[in-house]
Amino acid sequence: MNTWEIRFAMGNEAIAEGALAAGARFYAGYPITPSSEIAEIASRRLPQVGGVFIQMEDEIASIAAIIGASAAGKKSFTATSGPGVSLMQENLGVAVMSEIPCVIIDVQRSGPSTGLATKPAQGDVMQARWGTHGDHGIIALAPSSVQECYDLTIKAFDFSEKYRTPVYLMADEVIGHMREPYVLHEAAGLVSRKQPDPSEPGGDYKIFDFERYDDHIAPMPPYGGKYIFRMNGSMHDEAGFGCGASDNADKFIRHYEDKITKNRDDIVMTESYNMEDADYVLVSFGCSARSAMAAMRLARQEGEKVGVLKLMTLWPFPDKEVAAALKKAKAAVVPEMNLGQVASEVSRYNERKIPVIGVNRVDGSMITPYQILDALKGLYLKGLSLKGL
Amino acid sequence: MKQRWEIIFSGVGGQGLLLSGNLLGAAVSVIEKRQAVMTCTYGTETRGTFTKSDVILSDGYIDFPEVLDADVVVSLAQIAYDRYVDVLKPKTLFLYNSNQVKEAPSPARQVGLPMEEMAAQAGAPAAVNIVALGILTALTKCVQPTSIQEMLTRHFKGRQDVLGANIKAFEAGLEEAGK
């Protein structure tokens, strides 16, 4: 690879190339629209760099395979859409419980079930957070451009390795299939998985003994090496032996949540546009953030002080950033291609109880900038000053 | 020169509408270092239903990636033509394939050319999409012809006969529209 190269390509290609740049060398998946190009490109590109591609019999096996490959020391990923993510939830819990780094690409399409196979949606936000049972933290990133597909995929692998956790990259059909120029650059400063100190003797090893380390992340030597590595989806102790003691369960379940939430300042990524003087804040993500940016441009042309807070991290939720954005605003509008999954979170951090209005669309078409402008006009009709529109 | 273009390539699946959009977007962004975004719409079927690609070209950042105010609509098939014929604005250039489309009244500026015949004469009967791209390039000047030729060369790398036929199809479109 050159040090950098401009390509005009779809988001799905940038995701596959981002995974390779991040050092991913194992893919297992079952193709599904609108994510299939990721599998196609991974099948061609991984063997070129000494990696492995396997087409599995279904999504349950796909995530099982990437968990296994990751345990054996390879950065691993799979790509799917909502129906596949639904099937993956059980083993996602295994990855959470066993603290296995892996990346799950969800190119969202309209649901529930097989839904509208070729149409976009952003309806998997809450599934990513709570789809697998039991308390746990999770990381989910949402790109809104082809460049972000590349860059955030690299970030997803870094977070996954750093915090020993599965990470979602939540694209959507628009972003996955949209073509734009992007810069394919070498990934600098990649996170390497923490390994035991070389002085530690082989044999029995406490692979879950996070309390020994200041950052509360235990080293993870590869399965099959000199350290004995026990994976267990049932509650286990530091060495991976089944353990039903209540204090042990309490410690580990809180750890799964805390290792994400306590590092939220490192994980949360947002971008602000024209927020300095914004009376009206558009909070959005993924493809709908593009609609919000266009609405902001049109509203500013009319002299209205509209700003955009774009969420690139969905989980852990950007609570501080949203609270700060709403602090001086008269109202917030949340455009999203679902029926209010992010708007409900935004409302939780709305300390002054300003109006929070959803602009929602679930018909498989993008939210247009005009629909967002209509929502702003609706606020005007409710007595909030909004002169120009 | 006009800075921003909103262009729709429409027809049925299998006509190469995504390739036309892709070549145009790549020519503008990779070769000419301007901005381009392309999105597409198609059904679950592989062939034969309504398909389109939206291409936006600009010197600056492109926010919303779908066409809202078309400068040009290209229709290669009747079902696509019928969708647009009475909803376009007078400023829109409505370019259609007269071998497939029966013209109807439209507020848009209509230009119908026998693109299938032109492709066949160029020795590339499947390259109706590339003929259309040539016509579009000549009529709008939204991209340099050499940039499209460069992208064709990259796209058909290693397939010299197919490349030659597509270059001819592109030139046929350029020349006919230049008349």
| Same domain flag for A222 and A235 | yes
Q: Distance between CA B110 and CA B141 in Å, rounded?
A: 17
Q: Do B68 and A290 touch (CB under 8 A)?
A: no
Q: Distance between CA A21 and CA A10 in Å, rounded?
A: 17
Top pLDDT among A279 and A382 is at: A279
- pLDDT, residue A129, reads 98
- pLDDT, residue B59, reads 95
> In this complex, which of B35, B38, B68 lies closest to A178 when CB atoms are compared?
B38
| Same domain flag for A254 and A347 | no
- pLDDT, residue A226, reads 94
B79: contact with A, CB 8 A cutoff: no
Is the CB of residue A10 less than 8 Å from the CB of residue B22? no
Mean pLDDT of chain B: 94
- pLDDT, residue B42, reads 75
A290: contact with B, CB 8 A cutoff: yes
Q: DSSP E strands: which ranges in chain A?
A: 4-10, 26-29, 52-55, 76-80, 102-110, 116-120, 139-141, 166-172, 179-185, 203-204, 227-228, 270-273, 280-284, 306-311, 313-315, 331-336, 356-360
> Between A and B, how many CB-CB pairs are < 8 A?
64
Q: Distance between CA A343 and CA A359 in Å, rounded?
A: 9
Collapsing DSSP to helix, strand or coil, A99 comes out as: coil
Of A97-101, A335-339, B39-43, where does mean pLDDT reach its minimum? B39-43
Give the end of a domain, one of A267, A291, A310. A267
Q: What residue in A sits closest to B67 (Cα-Cα)?
A: A368
Local confidence band at A1 (pLDDT 50, 70, 90 cut-offs): very low
Longest Cα separation, chain B: 44
Residue A319 CB-density burial (10 A; 0-12 exposed, 13-18 middle, 19+ buried): middle
pLDDT digits (tens, 9 = 90+) for A242-289: 999 999 999 999 999 999 999 999 999 999 999 999 999 999 999 999
Structure-block tokens of residue B133: 């791209």
With beta carbons under 8 A apart, name residues in chain B contacting A297: 63
Collapsing DSSP to helix, strand or coil, B170 comes out as: helix
Structure-block tokens of residue B73: 């609509």
Q: Distance between CA A155 and CA A216 in Å, rounded?
A: 20
Q: Do A179 and B37 touch (CB under 8 A)?
A: yes
Crossing angle for the helix pair B145-155 and B160-178, to the nearest 10 degrees: 160
Identify residue A177 by its one-letter amino acid code: H
> In this complex, which of B21, B26, B63 lies closest to A294 when CB atoms are compared?
B63
- pLDDT, residue A4, reads 81
pLDDT digits (tens, 9 = 90+) for B101-136: 999 999 999 999 999 999 999 999 999 999 999 999
Domain presence at residue A367: yes
Give the end of a domain, one of A211, A238, A267. A267
Q: How many Å lie between the alpha carbon of B54 and the closest alpha carbon of chain A? A: 10
Local confidence band at A184 (pLDDT 50, 70, 90 cut-offs): very high
A381, pLDDT greater than 70: no
A118: contact with B, CB 8 A cutoff: yes
DSSP string, A253-291: HHHHHHHHHTTHHHH--EEEES-TT-SEEEEE-HHHHHH
- pLDDT, residue B49, reads 87
Q: Would you give the distance in Å from CA B47 to the centre of its chain?
A: 18
Q: Would you give the distance in Å from CA B53 to the centre of its chain?
A: 9
Report how far apart, in Å, the C-alpha atoms of A269 and of each of A126, A263, A313 are. Answer: 18, 12, 5
Count of structural domains, chain B: 1
- pLDDT, residue B2, reads 76
- Which helix (H) or strand (E) segment holds residue B36: the answer is strand B35-41
| Same domain flag for A339 and A374 | yes
Instruction: Mention every residue, 6+ apart, whose C-beta is less than 8 A from residue B106.
Output: B84, B85, B86, B88, B94
pLDDT digits (tens, 9 = 90+) for B86-103: 999 999 999 999 999 999
Q: What's the half-sphere exposure (Cβ side, CA atoms, 13 Å) at A14?
A: 32
Crossing angle for the helix pair A341-348 and A319-327, to the nearest 10 degrees: 70
Is the CB of residue B77 less than 8 Å from the CB of residue B97? yes
- pLDDT, residue A389, reads 43
> In this complex, which of B22, B40, B63 lies closest to A290 when CB atoms are compared?
B63
Q: B-contacting residues of A 16-35, CB under 8 Å?
A: 33
Mean pLDDT of B70-84: 96
A369: contact with B, CB 8 A cutoff: yes
| Same domain flag for A206 and A307 | no
| Same domain flag for A127 and A245 | yes
With beta carbons under 8 A apart, name residues in chain B contacting A290: 63-65
Domain presence at residue A386: no
Instruction: Mention every residue, 6+ apart, whose C-beta is less than 8 A from residue B137.
Output: B143, B145, B148, B170, B173, B174, B177
| Same domain flag for A203 and A310 | no
Q: Supply the CATH number for residue B128's domain.
A: 3.40.920.10
> In this complex, which of B30, B37, B43 lies closest to A6 when CB atoms are compared?
B30
| Same domain flag for A165 and A303 | no
A388, pLDDT greater than 80: no
Q: How many Å lie between the alpha carbon of B10 and the closest alpha carbon of chain A? A: 16
B165, pLDDT greater than 80: yes
pLDDT digits (tens, 9 = 90+) for A47-76: 999 999 999 999 999 999 999 999 999 999
Q: Do A179 and B25 touch (CB under 8 A)?
A: yes
Q: Distance between CA A294 and CA A273 in Å, rounded?
A: 12
Q: A-contacting residues of B 28-67, CB under 8 Å?
A: 29-30, 33, 35-40, 42-44, 62-66
With beta carbons under 8 A apart, name residues in chain A contacting B33: 6
B43, pLDDT greater than 90: no
Q: Do B38 and A291 touch (CB under 8 A)?
A: no
Is the CB of residue A137 less than 8 Å from the CB of residue A99? no
Residue ranges making up the domain that contains B98: 5-178
B46, pLDDT greater than 80: no
| Same domain flag for A25 and A88 | yes
Q: How many Å lie between the alpha carbon of A9 and the closest alpha carbon of chain B? A: 8
Q: Do B30 and A181 touch (CB under 8 A)?
A: yes
Percent above pLDDT 90 for chain A: 94
Mean pLDDT of A173-193: 95
Q: Supply the CATH number for residue A347's domain.
A: 3.40.50.920
Q: Distance between CA A387 and CA A366 in Å, rounded?
A: 27
> In this complex, which of B22, B44, B63 lies closest to A179 when CB atoms are compared?
B22
Report how far apart, in Å, the C-alpha atoms of A89 and of each of A24, A54, A83, B30, B100 are. Answer: 22, 20, 11, 40, 49
A356: contact with B, CB 8 A cutoff: no
Is the CB of residue A170 less than 8 Å from the CB of residue A108? yes
Domain presence at residue A189: yes
Give the end of a domain, one of A267, A298, A333. A267
| Same domain flag for A252 and A300 | no
- pLDDT, residue A383, reads 55
Count of structural domains, chain A: 2
Q: How many Å lie between the alpha carbon of B21 and the closest alpha carbon of chain A? A: 9
Mean pLDDT of A202-229: 96
Q: Distance between CA A67 and CA A99 in Å, rounded?
A: 10
Percent above pLDDT 70 for chain B: 97
Q: Do B37 and A293 touch (CB under 8 A)?
A: no
Residue ranges making up the domain that contains A199: 1-267
Identify residue A133 by its one-letter amino acid code: H
A152, pLDDT greater than 90: yes
Q: Supply the CATH number for residue A66's domain.
A: 3.40.50.970
